[in-house]
Structure 1
Amino acid sequence: MSYIAIKKEVKRGDVRPVYFMYGTQSFLMEDLLLDIIRQTVGSQDDPNVITYSLQDVLLDTAVEEAETFPFFGGKKIVIVKEFSLVTAQKQDSKLDHDVNRLLQYIASPAPESILILLTPFEKLDERKKLTKELKKRAAVVDCSPFDDKLLLQWLDAQAHAKGFTFSPGGKERLLERLGPQLLQLVSEMNKLALYVGDGGVVDQEVVDLLVARSLEQDVFALIDYAVKKQLDKALVIYHDLLKQKEEPLKLLALIARQLRIFYQVKEMGRRSYSQKDIASQLKLHPYVVKLASQQVNKFQDKQLLHLLESAADADYAIKSGKMEKTLAVELLLMRLSSLDQS
């Protein structure tokens, strides 16, 4: 099931005996884990919350703990981190884990315990018996990066929990500012909630007032202004970043990366790849691909290749001492702004 669906279950008090969470979004795992703890034992400091890592402790120890009756009755939560036994990941630890012991446990889990297995890896080994049995018997939570639809649902759910709502433009503007960075989004939404108050509405103006753009979004806006022949606005962003002590070489690398994404998205789109497939192939978040797809038609292939060559030339000129670094990036922005859009 999706993270959002499982989270709603937990909020209702429907807590399962075994959870298997996998994916690269560790924030989602920690967030759901806290919900389960609050719903069952109340606090992370409760002595009935026990955490192990498979890098240091045998799996048998964690299973035995789950089988043991909790202190003072109630519920016990046993958390197993770095649960890599369901992946093709090479084991750094020399511990000999007894997988059969876990298979026996999940077939008949202890009613007083909640066993939570955390696998912070992108892919599972679907051939393994343990993977198949966990998918059959546990509450499986996919903590992979959200696609565009789930990201919007998640934003609405977070806003509802914090007592405010988004206008459609406000939600889009927040994503434009921060991208799909969940931890940053939560932090900024806490600030927005305080500003608009309970029952308030967050629109574009509120987001513009309170939320600063991320560095990646500044670079995206910088390129966008340059391509639209608004060089003055592009240079304002560039010099603001310099005032914030951002290194010109770093900004040049980010500009080149964004141009490379544009070229790859344009080429794969021409080959009829969906945005989801492009995101998977390039290992980018779907929202990043969505934004790039809205920009790529402003460029011809030869223009993007020329700009990538210009970025490489600027990098060489800086590192070889032939050109001052601040000026080299400014000249690249001027080349962007002088593109023929016909």
Structure 2
Amino acid sequence: MSQKNASIGQIIRRLRAREIAPVYALYGGDSFLEDYFMLELSQSFLKGKGVKLHLSLDQDSEEKLFGELSAISMFEEKRIIIVREIKKLRSKKGRQELIQYIQAPNPQIVLLIISTEYDLRNSFLKNIADHSELLDLRTPFENKMKEWVQFIINSRKIKITEGAIDHYIRIYGDSTAHVINEIEKATLMLGDDEINENNIEKLDGFDRVFQMWHFQDSMGKKKLQTSMEIALSLLENGTKFPQILVNLVYLYQQMLWKKMGQVKPSGYTGINKIITSNLSRYDKAYSHSELVQVIQELRKLDVLSKSTSINETSLIQPLIVKICKNQYV
């Protein structure tokens, strides 16, 4: 039965204590977190022996999947079988057979079922999750990302203060991989010294430019001062004013579509995965009429910016105040 309330730290500690579930459902699509979990599982279950088999049901047949699950090893060889594109298992018989296997699994096999979606409204994904150990591997929000980052850096015995962790998540938090990579780079430069708020100022790249998604995120949350700071940094570091405007249009257009209950368009949306996952949080701060007003303001400012000599900072700052305070005169 799925342990839905277990944290990632609890699940990893179980692996290290050799308390290994026969089936794991990894939903959410964060490849770094998937790889980290698979590494921990391999070290605990295979211990340098056995086989790790990768299947993807957009290429491999269900017959091959069930053949591997039912195969008996003469030498009791342990195996990890990793199955991607699980929703491509379309036949009713195949889906029933998979659930039957999960309910009575082979003890020499650990089955990992991976879905890039975390969608428990889908009856098939929910049925799998209900009968296995479910891991939420969506790109985490800041609070959950901190839990992941702290767990990983503790396991790697990296010395870093909590304030420094907060800094790295704030600046590099588009993905867990990005945060961990930057912390490990700092470790290489500082050696055995603890990473703290004082010595990170001396590292190359500390004064790096904010990324556009930081601005989208702060505007979505109506964080006035943070948005002002990021916008100024973007302009000072070479980001063109039209680029800032168009990325705001991307954000608020997606929010308006969500508010109207329309299916988001396929293809390029102008917002990354973490902004997409935060849309529901931003949605609570804006009414439908407000989003319409924001998009109108962006269009007016686009026209104004092409016909005036007013500097870009003087154009963007009033816009930020209008949106964050919902004050349109």
Please, what TM-score do these two structures have when normalized by structure 2?
A: 0.69
The answer (yes or no) to whether the contact 1:168–1:203 under 8 Å persists in 2 is: no
Aligned to 1:16: 21
Q: Deviations over 1:224-281 (max 9, x none)?
A: xx966x9899556403134xxxx54322223456788999xxxxxxxxxxxxxxxxxx
- Paired with 1:262 and 1:120, the residues of 2 have a C-alpha distance of 22
Asked if residue 312 in structure 1 is aligned to residue 312 in structure 2, the reply is: no
- Structure-1 residue corresponding to 2:146: 152
Paired with 1:165 and 1:289, the residues of 2 have a C-alpha distance of: 33
Work out the CA distance in 2 between the residues paired with 1:336 and 1:240: 20
The whole-number CA distance in structure 1 between the counterparts of 2:161 and 2:112 is 37
Instruction: Work out which of the residue numbers 27, 38, 41 in structure 2 matches 1:36.
Output: 41
Structure 1 pair 306/23, CA: closer, same or farther in 2 (3 Å)? closer
Following superposition of structure 1 onto structure 2, how do residues 1-342 of structure 1 map, counting pairs within 5 Å? 1=4, 2-41=7-46, 48-70=51-73, 73-84=76-87, 98-125=94-121, 127-128=123-124, 131-132=126-127, 134-198=128-192, 200-203=194-197, 205-206=199-200, 209=203, 210-211=205-206, 212=208, 213-217=210-214, 235=232, 237-242=234-239, 247-256=240-249, 283-285=276-278, 309-316=296-303, 322-323=306-307, 329-333=312-316, 335-336=318-319
Which residue type is aligned with residue 213 of structure 2?
Answer: E
Supply the distance in 2 between the matched residues of 1:221 and 1:241 (Cα, whole angstroms): 20
Counterpart Cα distance in 1 of 2:130 and 2:47: 29
User: Do the aligned partners of 1:221 and 1:234 also contact (CA within 8 Å) in 2?
Assistant: no
Which runs of no fewer than 5 residues in structure 1 stay unpaired?
264-281, 297-301
CA gap 1:158/1:3 in 2 versus in 1, 3 angstroms: same
- SS of 1:166 mapped into structure 2: coil
Q: Report the counterpart of residue 268 of structure 1 in structure 2.
A: none
CA RMSD across the alignment: 4.6
Corresponding residue for 1:271?
none
Deviations 1:165-206 (A, max 9, x none): 432322222222123521211211211222343472433651
Change (3 A) 1:65 1:252: same
Q: Identify the range of structure 1 (248-257 vs 150-159) with the bigger mean alpha-carbon deviation.
A: 248-257
Change (3 A) 1:208 1:37: same
- Partner Cα distance (1:100, 1:39) in 2: 30
* Residue deviations 1:105-153 (CA, integer Å, cap 9, x gap): 222211211111111113124645x743x34432222223434443222
Aligned length: 298
For residues 38 and 203 of structure 1, the distance between their equivalents in structure 2, rounded to whole angstroms, comes to 34
Q: Which runs of 4+ in 1 moved over 4 A?
A: 70-73, 218-223, 230-236, 255-263, 302-308, 326-331, 336-339
Shift of 1:97: 5.9
Structure 2: stretches of 5+ with no match in the other structure = 257-274
Structure-2 separation of matches of 1:135 and 1:239: 48
Kindly tell me: are residues 98 and 233 of structure 1, through their superposed partners in 2, closer, same or farther at Cα, counting changes over 3 Å?
closer
Q: TM-score, normalised by structure 1?
A: 0.67
- The answer (yes or no) to whether the contact 2:168–2:183 under 8 Å persists in 1 is no
Q: Which amino acid aligns with 1:254?
A: N
